[in-house]
């Protein structure tokens, strides 16, 4: 009885088209579906892999069985496990003559292999053959594989065939051929550079799908060089106009919008072509305005087109009417309840703001809302917008918000980005030094390890140099505030290394300058830093050098140096350090302490970090010494380029050097097998060698040369490294200990100056504060938000007023210019286009005049005409529906077609009455059949032995329900 049941089940599955796999596979899928944890799932999959490994190498597997194994491999790979042992079988399957197997083979290899995989070479031949096949389905499958697998090296092998396919009678093939060429272009632009004219030609293909596909490569080409494609502007505009006027076949409609995906692509292309080109842009104004007018703002796809229009408008030469329309669209987006639309609105605002900054002002509150929204994505987009509209007047508010947000997130990628933005804004718009230092401190404190080291160097330089060279007192003030803030911060745990380096440097350089803090206090702090971060050699090195500076300043000032016991032990510890760098510094420090004040003063002058050091590059002071040595019989120096086999001196860092020498010694032949070494996991390799004898020998033979090379280069690098370390110490460091005469006779006279100026600056900053306060209360009556808005946007409006008065003129002029041709155009559009064409004849490669005329001159006999079997231009949709004789074709146009299948008639009626109800009604009615349908499915899988999962009852839910 049991047996019979299984037989029946298998029979049923055999005849049942969908679940055509064996019981075994269904069980696998089912058990994975029911797995309660990732570990359990992994266990099942590992077991499955073992089964497959065993089965797949059995001799004489029936092809149908093999096909299923391959699909099971795909499944395993999809779940994130390694199925590389079976790749070769997938490759073999592509060789099969049976198209079904071939198709499965191609599907599997496109999913398994990246374009740099070694097995690709085994497929190229098959692809070549299949591209010439009579069966267009085979050609399609091969082209799918071409798009995924062909790399730069193999492009020439298939290129001629693919180009030939551009003339294939089946539009599906032409389309795929174009996109394959597009892929080739992305891989290696030079390989298809001679085919550009083909892309242009395909633009006038009869099939809209092919035309749409040709826009992809053209978009890329135009991005790089818009100027050589200006002649296509008229053609693009014409196509777009025809699309917008519903001249394409109705099957291209998507939710009642005519071919929106093609419209979007065209608008993108036009945005590129019209950017900064007044003449080209003038062609576009009318069609873009038409599209904006026609866009249905209630549907998602309508808004997608609308958004693309706004992007286009803000990219092309400005036109006041279009800008107004775009601003309207943006305000609609921002006022919408949908977060998606708000997001798009913020993005569009960011684009438009460059051209008409006044738009931002009307949306202040909406922007603030988005900024405070709990949705992270929206928030980030808003920060992007704020970043774009930062002025010196609102920088403080914006950066404060950015930093608050930066502190709150953990995503290191975005943290880095926002930190670098903060730094950029702070460097560009900082209202005061004090603010700048404070801001940088915060950035370093919370994202120090993520920011570029250059930023730290910039900060140190700024503190050393100050803003204005002529105003010493302000600089001193700046340094003092830096020292104070660092002393406050330095005790905190978990400070990033880069920040600690800055702190150490500043404390060493300026810690004791104004006499406020004693040397022992500062040195104590520095020792704490070094001890707290004992694993970070760079920080320790900075700390020791800072100690040295402080002691040197003490000695130079004639005070007695008292070395704290912890400093003493730190120095001793470091002089025995493994790091030669630390050792060197510790010994230097000890040496400096032993010197008298005069010597120290010339070695370590106070505040000389910005002094230019004159470097004698010729080392002329050594010539006497060299002469002497040569006379006593030393070898003369051989210049670098003459000892070419020796590794270059410049890359003395171990890693870089090793690699460089390895490269020098390795030859092409060794390069290839490197991929299998790094890629496959150890488990997979042995098994694959059983099956494929091919890669193995090259793999083992490769190991020898590499291992032979390594020790050699290692020794070489060591030797060089040692020598250069010495060089670095001697010539790398002296920037601080150079013998330039000290400029700073830092006497009491100056400090007096400093104190007096301090007072002044305090009052001035107070004044600033109070003015800031007085500004705030003025808008204080409304909520917090408005206050924020005011502080954010006040600068814009002010700055913007100026810009309006200056920019008013040009925009008016354009409006003038634009209006005229538009009215003309309305009257005699075709005429004008012909005239236009006469004035700008396109370059010869497009001058297959017949085709060109087709597209541009006579839109009424356009190429799409043939496909317009269903077109009823004059009718409104509802009447068209009523007259539609074929109900089946109706539901192909309808958006909610899942239910429509069963309710054609109902829908037809509903649609005729009212569009709004039409959507709601069929859904309600169709609930019944849907439930039934899913119940049926439930029963079906139950019978097959797959019990529905208790944790996921949704499995049977209609996706579109």
Partner 1 sequence: MIHFVLLINRQGKVRLTKWYSPYSQKERSKVIRELSGVITTRGPKLCNFVEWTGFKVVYRRYASLYFCMCIDQDDNELEILEIIHHYVEILDRYFGSVCELDLIFNFHKAYYILDEILIAGELQESSKKTVARLIAAQDSLVEAAKEQESSISNIIAQVTKRFTAEAAEIGEHFPAERFSIQGYRYTDVDVCNV
> Which residues in the 251-270 window bind partner 1 by CB under 8 A?
251-252, 254-255, 259-262, 264, 268
Q: What is the DSSP letter of 730?
A: I
Restricting to residues 925-954, name those near partner 1 by CB under 8 A.
Answer: 930, 933-934, 936-937, 939-941, 943, 951-952, 954
Contacting partner 1 (CB under 8 A), which of 15, 620, 747, 774?
Answer: 15
Give the nearer residue to partner 1 in terms of CB position, either 826 or 960.
Answer: 960
Residue 765, interface with partner 1 (CB under 8 A)?
Answer: no
Cβ atoms of residues 393 and 798 within 8 Å: yes
Ramachandran quadrant class, 275 (left: phi over 0; alpha: psi -120 to 50; beta: rest): beta
CB 361 to partner 1: min, Å: 24
CB 462 to partner 1: min, Å: 29
The DSSP annotation for 103-140 comes to HHHHHHHHHH--TT-TTHHHHHHHHHHHHT-SSHHHHH
Residue 377 to residue 794: CA distance in whole angstroms: 26
Restricting to residues 336-395, name those near partner 1 by CB under 8 A.
Answer: 339-340, 342-344, 374-375, 377-378, 380-381
Residue 257 forms beta bridges with which residues?
Answer: 254
Give the nearer residue to partner 1 in terms of CB position, either 28 or 474.
Answer: 28
Restricting to residues 167-206, name those near partner 1 by CB under 8 A.
Answer: 171-172, 175-176, 179-180, 182-183, 186
Give the nearer residue to partner 1 in terms of CB position, either 63 or 643.
Answer: 63
How open is the CA angle 742-746-749, to the nearest 5 degrees? Answer: 145
Restricting to residues 325-344, name those near partner 1 by CB under 8 A.
Answer: 339-340, 342-344
**Per-residue contact track with partner 1, 273 to 292, x per CB under 8 A?**
--------------------
Give the nearer residue to partner 1 in terms of CB position, either 7 or 407.
Answer: 7
CB 142 to partner 1: min, Å: 12
Contacting partner 1 (CB under 8 A), which of 22, 128, 144, 481?
Answer: 144
Contacting partner 1 (CB under 8 A), which of 2, 58, 749, 886?
Answer: 886
Q: Which two tokens stand for residue 284?
A: 């576009």
Residue 456 to residue 448: CA distance in whole angstroms: 9
3-class secondary-structure state, position 414: helix
End-to-end CA distance of the chain: 40
Residue 97 to residues 100, 105, 130, 310, Cα–Cα distance (Å): 9, 11, 10, 51
Contacting partner 1 (CB under 8 A), which of 80, 276, 830, 843?
Answer: 80
Contacting partner 1 (CB under 8 A), which of 86, 105, 208, 647?
Answer: 208
Size of the site for partner 1 (CB under 8 A): 118
Give the nearer residue to partner 1 in terms of CB position, either 185 or 736.
Answer: 185
Three-class HEC string of 62-101: CHHHHHHHHHHHHHHHHCCCCCHHHHHHHHHHHCCCCHHH
Residue 614 to residue 635: CA distance in whole angstroms: 29
CB 95 to partner 1: min, Å: 18
Residue 469 to residues 462, 475, 610, 688, Cα–Cα distance (Å): 11, 8, 11, 70
Residue 555 to residue 592: CA distance in whole angstroms: 9
Cβ atoms of residues 413 and 401 within 8 Å: no
Give the nearer residue to partner 1 in terms of CB position, either 65 or 666.
Answer: 65
CA atoms within 13 A on the CB side of 298: 4
Give the nearer residue to partner 1 in terms of CB position, either 114 or 763.
Answer: 114
Residue 495 to residue 308: CA distance in whole angstroms: 45
Kindly report the backbone phi and psi dihedral angles of residue 533, in degrees, each rounded to the nearest multiple of 5, phi listed first.
Answer: -120, 55
Contacting partner 1 (CB under 8 A), which of 7, 613, 708, 813?
Answer: 7
Give the nearer residue to partner 1 in terms of CB position, either 188 or 320.
Answer: 188
Of 6-14, 189-197, 811-819, 906-914, the segment contacting partner 1 by CB under 8 A is 6-14
CB 83 to partner 1: min, Å: 9
Cα 255 off chain centre by: 31
Restricting to residues 477-516, name those near partner 1 by CB under 8 A.
Answer: none
Cβ atoms of residues 586 and 570 within 8 Å: no
Q: To 10 degrees, the CA torsion angle through 120, 126, 127, 129? A: 160
Restricting to residues 678-707, name those near partner 1 by CB under 8 A.
Answer: 679
Q: Which two tokens stand for residue 477?
A: 């003030």
Residue 147, interface with partner 1 (CB under 8 A)?
Answer: yes
Residue 900 to residue 892: CA distance in whole angstroms: 9
Give the nearer residue to partner 1 in terms of CB position, either 95 or 733.
Answer: 95
Restricting to residues 83-102, name those near partner 1 by CB under 8 A.
Answer: 98-100
Q: Which two tokens stand for residue 580?
A: 């030669």
CB 94 to partner 1: min, Å: 15
Give the nearer residue to partner 1 in terms of CB position, either 183 or 540.
Answer: 183
Task: Single out the residue of 82, 68, 63, 1 nearest to residue 29, CA to CA.
Answer: 68
Restricting to residues 307-326, name those near partner 1 by CB under 8 A.
Answer: 307-308, 311
Place of tokens 């016991």: 565
Restricting to residues 216-235, name those near partner 1 by CB under 8 A.
Answer: 216
Residue 276 to residue 272: CA distance in whole angstroms: 9
How open is the CA angle 476-482-483, to the nearest 5 degrees? Answer: 90
Give the nearer residue to partner 1 in terms of CB position, either 112 or 317.
Answer: 112
**Per-residue contact track with partner 1, 891 to 930, x per CB under 8 A?**
-x----xx--x----------------------------x
Give the nearer residue to partner 1 in terms of CB position, either 44 or 804.
Answer: 44
Residue 847 to residues 808, 834, 852, Cα–Cα distance (Å): 42, 15, 7
Give the nearer residue to partner 1 in terms of CB position, either 217 or 448.
Answer: 217
Task: Single out the residue of 877, 851, 802 nearest to residue 203, CA to CA.
Answer: 851
Restricting to residues 791-850, name those near partner 1 by CB under 8 A.
Answer: none
CB 144 to partner 1: min, Å: 5
Residue 657, interface with partner 1 (CB under 8 A)?
Answer: no
Give the nearer residue to partner 1 in terms of CB position, either 401 or 533.
Answer: 401
Of 71-79, 465-473, 476-484, 631-639, the segment contacting partner 1 by CB under 8 A is 71-79
Residue 30 to residue 52: CA distance in whole angstroms: 17
Residue 94 burial by Cβ neighbours in a 10 Å radius (0-12, 13-18, 19+): buried
The DSSP annotation for 675-720 comes to HHHHSS-TTHHHHHHHH--SHHHHHHHHHHHHHHHHHHHHHHHHHH
Contacting partner 1 (CB under 8 A), which of 43, 64, 775, 816?
Answer: 64
Give the nearer residue to partner 1 in terms of CB position, either 176 or 401.
Answer: 176
Contacting partner 1 (CB under 8 A), which of 44, 79, 817, 834?
Answer: 79
Give the nearer residue to partner 1 in terms of CB position, either 100 or 813.
Answer: 100
Residue 865 to residue 861: CA distance in whole angstroms: 7
**Per-residue contact track with partner 1, 101 to 140, x per CB under 8 A?**
--xx--x--xx--xxx--------------------x--x
Contacting partner 1 (CB under 8 A), which of 19, 517, 670, 699?
Answer: 19
Could you give the maximum distance between any two Cα atoms of the chain, in Å?
111
**Per-residue contact track with partner 1, 713 to 752, x per CB under 8 A?**
----------------------------------------
Contacting partner 1 (CB under 8 A), which of 69, 75, 551, 652?
Answer: 75
Three-class HEC string of 630-667: HHCCCCCCCCHHHCCCCCCCCCCCHHHHHHHHHHHHCC
CB 525 to partner 1: min, Å: 39
């Amino acid at each position: 009885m049991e047996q019979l049941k299984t037989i029946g089940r298998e029979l049923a599955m055999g005849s049942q088209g969908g679940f055509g796999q064996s019981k075994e596979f269904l069980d696998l899928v089912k058990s994975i579906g029911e797995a309660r944890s990732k570990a359990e799932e992994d266990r099942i999959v590992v077991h499955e892999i073992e089964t497959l490994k065993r089965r797949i190498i059995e001799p004489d597997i029936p092809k149908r069985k093999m096909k299923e194994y391959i699909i099971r491999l795909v499944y395993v790979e999809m779940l994130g496990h390694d199925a590389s042992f079976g790749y070769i079988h997938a490759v073999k399957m592509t060789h099969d003559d049976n198209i079904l197997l071939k198709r499965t083979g191609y599907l599997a290899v496109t999913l398994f292999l990246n374009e740099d995989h070694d097995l690709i070479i085994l497929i190229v031949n098959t692809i070549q053959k299949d591209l010439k096949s009579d069966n267009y389905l085979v050609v399609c499958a091969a082209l799918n594989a071409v798009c995924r697998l062909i790399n730069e090296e193999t492009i020439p092998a298939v290129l001629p065939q693919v180009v030939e396919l551009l003339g294939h009678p089946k539009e599906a093939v032409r389309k795929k051929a174009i996109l394959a060429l597009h892929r080739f272009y992305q891989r290696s632009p030079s390989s298809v550079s001679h085919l550009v004219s083909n892309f242009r030609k395909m633009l006038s293909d009869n099939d809209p799908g092919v035309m749409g596909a040709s826009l992809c490569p053209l978009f890329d080409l135009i991005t790089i060089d818009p100027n050589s494609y200006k002649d296509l502007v008229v053609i693009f505009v014409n196509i777009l106009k025809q699309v917008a006027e519903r001249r394409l076949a109705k099957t291209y409609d998507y939710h009642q919008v005519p071919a929106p995906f093609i419209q979007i692509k065209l608008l993108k292309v036009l945005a590129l072509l019209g950017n900064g080109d007044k003449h080209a842009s003038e062609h576009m104004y009318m069609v873009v305005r038409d599209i904006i007018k026609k866009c249905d703002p209630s549907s998602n796809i309508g808004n997608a087109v609308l958004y693309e229009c706004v992007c286009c408008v803000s990219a092309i030469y400005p036109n006041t009417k279009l800008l107004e329309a775009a601003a309207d669209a943006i305000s609609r987006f921002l006022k919408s309840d949908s977060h998606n639309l708000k997001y798009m609105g913020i993005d569009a605002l960011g684009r438009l703001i460059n051209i008409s900054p006044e738009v931002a002002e009307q949306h202040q509150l909406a922007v603030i809302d988005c900024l405070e929204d709990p949705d992270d994505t929206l928030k980030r987009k808003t920060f992007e917008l704020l970043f774009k509209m930062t002025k010196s007047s609102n920088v403080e508010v914006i950066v404060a918000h950015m930093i608050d947000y930066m502190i709150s997130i953990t995503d290191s990628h975005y943290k880095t980005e926002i930190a670098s933005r903060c730094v950029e804004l702070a460097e560009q718009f900082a209202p005061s030094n004090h603010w700048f230092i404070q801001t940088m401190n915060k950035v370093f404190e919370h994202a120090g390890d993520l920011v570029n080291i250059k930023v730290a160097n910039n900060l140190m330089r700024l503190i050393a140099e100050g803003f204005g060279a002529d105003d010493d007192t302000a600089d001193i003030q700046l340094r003092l505030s830096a020292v104070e803030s660092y002393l406050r911060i330095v005790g905190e745990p978990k400070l990033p290394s880069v920040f600690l380096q800055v702190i150490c440097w500043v404390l060493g350089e300026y810690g004791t300058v104004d006499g406020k803090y004693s040397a022992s206090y500062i040195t104590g702090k520095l020792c704490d830093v070094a001890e707290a971060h004992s694993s970070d050699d760079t920080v320790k090195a900075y700390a020791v050098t800072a100690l040295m500076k402080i002691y040197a300043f003490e000695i130079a000032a004639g005070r007695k140096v008292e070395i704290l016991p912890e400093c003493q032990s730190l120095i001793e510890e470091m002089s025995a350090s493994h790091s030669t760098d630390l050792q060197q510094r510790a010994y230097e420090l000890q040496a400096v302490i032993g010197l008298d004040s005069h010597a120290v003063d010339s070695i370590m002058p106070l505040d000389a970090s910005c002094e230019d050091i004159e470097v004698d590059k010729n080392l002329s002071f050594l010539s006497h010494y060299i002469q002497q040595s040569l006379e006593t019989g030393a070898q003369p120096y051989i210049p670098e380029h003459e000892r070419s086999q020796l590794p270059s001196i410049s890359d003395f860092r171990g890693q870089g050097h090793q690699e460089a020498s390895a490269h020098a010694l390795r030859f092409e032949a060794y390069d290839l097998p490197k991929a299998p070494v790094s890629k496959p996991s150890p488990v997979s390799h042995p098994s694959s060698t059983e099956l494929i004898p091919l890669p193995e020998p090259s793999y083992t033979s490769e190991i020898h040369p590499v291992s032979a090379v390594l020790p050699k280069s290692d020794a070489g690098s060591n030797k060089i490294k040692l020598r250069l370390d010495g060089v670095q110490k001697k010539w790398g460091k002296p920037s601080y200990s150079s013998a330039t005469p000290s400029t700073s006779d830092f006497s009491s006279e100056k400090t007096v100056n400093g104190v007096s100026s301090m007072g002044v600056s305090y009052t001035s900053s107070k004044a600033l504060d109070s003015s800031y306060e007085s500004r705030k209360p003025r808008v204080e009556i409304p909520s917090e938000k408005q206050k924020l808005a005011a502080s954010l946007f006040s600068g814009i409006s002010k700055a913007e007023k100026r810009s309006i008065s200056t920019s008013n003129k040009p925009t008016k002029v354009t409006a003038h210019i634009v209006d005229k041709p538009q009215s003309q155009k309305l009257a005699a559009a075709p005429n004008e286009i012909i005239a236009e064409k006469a004035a700008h004849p396109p370059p010869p490669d497009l001058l297959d005049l017949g085709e060109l005329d087709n597209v541009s001159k006579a839109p009424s006999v356009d190429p799409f005409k043939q496909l317009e079997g269903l077109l009823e231009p004059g009718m409104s949709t509802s009447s068209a529906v009523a007259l539609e004789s074929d109900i089946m074709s109706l539901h192909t146009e309808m958006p909610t077609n899942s239910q429509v299948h069963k309710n054609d008639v109902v829908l037809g009626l509903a649609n005729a009455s009212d569009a709004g109800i039409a959507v709601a009604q069929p859904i309600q009615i169709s609930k019944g059949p849907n439930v039934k349908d899913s119940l049926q499915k439930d029963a079906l899988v139950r019978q097959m032995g797959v019990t529905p999962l208790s944790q996921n009852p949704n499995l049977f839910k209609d996706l579109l329900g």
